[in-house]
A and B are shown apart, each in its own frame.
Chain A
Amino acid sequence: MGEIIVIATQRDGELRPSSLEAITAARGVKQAGDSLAVVIVAADPQALAGGLSVEGVDEVIAVKASDDFQPDLIEAVAAELVAQRKPSLVLTAHGVDAWSFAPTLAARNGLGFATDVLALRRDGGDLVATRAGYAEKVLMDIDFPGKETVLLTVRTNVFEPASGQGSAKVTDMAAPAADIATTHEGWKPPADAGGIDIPGSEFILSIGRGVADESNVEQFLELADKVGATLGCSRPIADNGWLPKARQVGQSGQLAASCRLYVAMGVSGSVQHQWGMKHVENIVAVNSDPEASIFSIARYGIVGDMFEIASELENHF
C-alpha cells in the first residue's frame, strides 16, 4: 500500500487552481489501498484545506508559515514528508513556482524525476509518464527503474481540475527548519493594458516571429482594425517591444478566454503560446512552414506567406 503526495501551491493566500489539476493526475494512478495526501504551505493553511478536500483526497497536510513564496521552505517540507512517509509518487503542477523547488528536491534526494508531464498511467507495477520532446514534435514514454519515490510536475491546463466534495482529514505539520535565502518584496502587476482586451475579445488576429521586423507590425494593426479583430501577438513580438505586453497571448501573457475565432499569422505555436489559445473553437493558421505545430491545433490551415495573405485579405473588408 503506497502513498501519493500532491504539493499544492498558493499565491498571496489564494490557492493556485493548477493544484486541483495535479490532484486529478494523482487520482488517475491511485491504486486500491493507496492513500492520497495534499500538502499546502500558507499563512492560514486551514483556510485553504477545504478547497483541497476534494473527492479522492484522504488527508490535507497543513503547514503554517508565510504566504510568501519560499522555495527553500517548500522543499524542506516536501523532503521531510518524503523521508517520513516514503511516498511512491509526489506530484505538483508545472507552474512557475514548481520550477524553483521541484528540481532541487529531486536532485538532493535522488528521486525519479520528470517535468511537464502530460499523461500518466500504470503499466503493471511501473509508473509511465509521457512528456514531449524536440519542441513538441515527439512524445516520450518514460519510467523510473529502481526509484522508490518519483517526483513529477504535470503540465497545466491538461488535467481537469479535481472536484466533488471529499472528506479528507486535516493534519497540522510544523514548518521544518529551513535556511530561507529569498525575501518577498512585493508584486509588479502587468503593465496597464491601455484598453486592449485580449481575454474579452471574440475575434483575435495574432502575429508571431514571421512578421520579421518592427516596421512590418503597423500593417497588421491596420488589418486587425479593418477586419474587426483585436491584434494579439506571441512572446517574441512583445519581448522586442514591437507591441505592448497586453497583446501577448500565452502562458506568461493573456488567455484568449472569450475568443471564438483566432487567426494566427506567422506564429509557430509553442506550448506557451498554445496555452493561451488552443481551446479556441475556430483557429486559422497562416504560416509558410507546413510543419509548424500551430497546424496541429488549427481547424483551417493556409500554407503561405503571411504578408501576401494579409494584403489580399484587406481587399475583402
Chain B
Amino acid sequence: MKILVPVKQIASLDDQFELRDDGRDVDDDYFEKDLNEFDHFSVEEALLIKEAAGDAVEVVVAIVGDDDADDALRTALAKGADRGIRVWDDSLADADGIAVARVLAKLVEREKPDMVFTGAQSSDFGSATTGMALAGLLGWPHAAVVSHLDYKPGSATAGLRRELEGGLEEVMTIRCPAVLSIQLGINQPRYASLRGIKQAKQKPVDELSLDDLGLGDDDVRPASNVRRMYVPERGKAELITGTAAEQAARLAEIIKEIRGM
C-alpha cells in the first residue's frame, strides 16, 4: 500500500524585488523558498493514514524542481515520509500545472500508488491545477478541496467532504484509487522533530530526468505563455503615523466618526 504526495516548493517575494531582464518573471535573487503551505496538510493526511494502519503504508513524496527544491522535499521527509523523488530537467523551467501533471502521471505509472494527495493550490500562484490535471491524465477518480477524509488502506471507496463557498461542505463517496486535492484545516500538521530532520538527510531520494520518465521537451510545454509580468498599481492607504498612542487615538476618532458616536 502506497500513497504518493506530490509537493511544491513555492517562492515568496522579499519586500523589494526586481523583474528579470526579459520582464517575464521576477529575478530569482529576490525569492524566499519554502514548502507550499497546503502541502503540510496533504503530507500530514498521508501520515495519519499510515499511522492508523500500523505502518503498512509507504508515503512517497515527489517534487518537480531543481536542486534548490531539495529543501522542500526534505521538509516533507522530516515529518515522516518514507522516501522522496525529485524530477528535474532544464526544459521544465517554464512548466505550468499541466506540464508538471504530465511528469507526475509518469511517476504514478512507475510507482503505482493506491492514492495520490496534492495540495488544493500553491500559495504563490494559486492555480489550483496540478492535482486535478494529473487525475485527468490518469483517468482516475478525483475530488478537489477535500476538507475531511475517511479512508482505510485497501478500501475500494473513500468517504470525503469537499469544502464549498461559504463554509458549506458536500459529503461524497469516491471510488479509489483517487487523486484528492487537500484543503487547509483538514488536520493539524505536525512539525518535524529534530530527530526527524536528522533522519530526513539519510532518507533515499531518487533523482530523475525527463528522459528517465520517457518524456521529451514537447511533453512539458505549458498551456499558456507569460507575455509580461508587472507590479500592479495599488490603492494606497492613508498612513496614520506617530507613536502607538497617537495612532490608536486617531483610530479611535475614525471609529467614533464612522459609528456616529
Contact = CB atoms under 8 A, between A and B. Distances in A.
Contacts of A164: none
Contacts of B149: none
A13 interface: no
Contact of A147 (B134, B170, B184, B223): B223
Contacts of A101: 132
Contacts of A69: 170
A121 to B, nearest CB: 12
A113 B129 contact: yes
A142 B3 CA distance: 35
Nearest to B235: A296
Interface stretch (A37-45, A84-92, A177-185): A177-185
Contacts of A100: 132, 142-145, 162
A186 to B, nearest CB: 5
- Between A105, A113, A227, A248, the greatest number of chain B beta carbons within 10 A of the residue's beta carbon is seen for A113
B52 interface: no
Contacts of A203: 255, 258-259
A138 B136 contact: no
Contact of A239 (B145, B174, B184): B184
Contact of B252 (A99, A187, A238, A313): A313
Interface residues of B, number: 82
Contacts of A254: 166-167
B227 interface: yes
A135 B124 contact: yes
Contact of B230 (A139, A238, A303): A139
Interface stretch (A27-35, A46-54, A304-312): A304-312
B135 A298 contact: no
Given A96-B165, A301-B237, A302-B240, A185 B172 contact: yes
Nearest to B253: A316
A230 interface: no
Interface in B13-38: 13, 15, 17, 26
A133 to B, nearest CB: 5
A102 B11 CA distance: 25
A243 B184 CA distance: 16
B129 A115 contact: yes
A115 B181 CA distance: 16
Interface in A57-99: 69, 71-72, 75, 94-97, 99
B187 to A, nearest CB: 10
B193 interface: no
Contacts of A312: 244-245, 247-249
A182 B143 contact: yes
Contacts of B247: 302, 304, 309, 312
Contact of A96 (B163, B227, B255): B163
Interface in A133-149: 133-135, 137-145, 147
Contacts of B248: 308-309, 312-313, 315-316
Nearest to B120: A99
Given A107-B133, A139-B232, A284-B251, A128 B227 contact: yes
B50 interface: no
A135 B254 CA distance: 30
Nearest to B15: A291
A93 B26 CA distance: 28
Interface string A219-258: 0000000011000000110111000010010011111000
Contact of B173 (A71, A182, A298, A303): A182
A291 B237 CA distance: 11
A228 B259 contact: yes
A69 B142 CA distance: 12
A138 B126 CA distance: 13
Nearest to B188: A240
Given A108-B137, A134-B13, A185-B172, A113 B98 contact: yes
A185 B144 CA distance: 16
Given A96-B145, A187-B168, 19 more contacts: A96-B165, A99-B144, A100-B145, A103-B136, A107-B101, A107-B136, A129-B224, A137-B13, A142-B225, A182-B143, A182-B174, A185-B171, A185-B173, A261-B259, A263-B251, A284-B254, A298-B237, A304-B244, A316-B249
Q: Which 10 A-B pairs have the closest CB atoms?
A: A104-B136, A181-B141, A301-B237, A312-B248, A316-B252, A190-B167, A239-B185, A296-B234, A107-B133, A103-B132
Interface of B: 11-13, 15, 17, 26, 96-98, 101-102, 120, 123-137, 140-145, 159, 161-175, 178, 181, 184-185, 188, 223-232, 234-240, 244-245, 247-249, 251-252, 254-255, 258-259
11 contacts: A107-B98, A107-B133, A138-B229, A138-B231, A138-B232, A140-B230, A181-B140, A187-B171, A188-B161, A203-B258, A252-B163
